[in-house]
Amino acid sequence: MIDAAELVDNDFLRQFELKVDEQLAKIEYSLQDRKIFLTKLIIPESINSEDFEQEFLTLVFENIGERNISVVPTSPEIAKFIRRHRKYKKLLPVGIRI
């Protein structure tokens, strides 16, 4: 459904962006001391589906994993994704449990 080449890390706006059918899905973040705080997931209603959300979050987590930084999810949807996909728990900093 989506292509990894479309994922953009917009440093200026501090968000991951994915454009699909002229709609922009995004995850806002804050980067501090080798930790990325994922604060808000925004998916336009016209493209919002469980499958799209899963694929989008997978792309973002793969990107973060390649950068070797820790993830602190502050959004309930993102915390739920980590609970469902245990392989990404290794990206959590020491002391953070979900």
Q: What is the pLDDT of residue 54?
A: 93
- Quote the number of domains for the chain: 1
Share of the chain above pLDDT 90, in %: 76
User: Tell me: the pLDDT tens digits for 15-25?
Assistant: 999 998 889 99
Share of the chain above pLDDT 70, in %: 95
In a domain, 12, yes or no: yes
In a domain, 27, yes or no: yes
In a domain, 39, yes or no: yes
Structural domain that includes position 20: 4-91
CA 16/CA 13 separation, integer angstroms: 9
User: How far, in whole angstroms, is CA 19 from its chain's centroid?
Assistant: 14
In a domain, 98, yes or no: no
Q: What is the pLDDT of residue 98?
A: 80
pLDDT (mean) for 46-66: 92
pLDDT at 5 over 80: no
Residue 4 DSSP class? G
In a domain, 96, yes or no: no
CA 98/CA 89 separation, integer angstroms: 8
CB 75 within 8 A of CB 39: yes
Structure-block tokens of residue 94: 């020491």
The CATH number assigned to the domain holding 8 equals 3.40.630.30
Structure pTM?
0.89
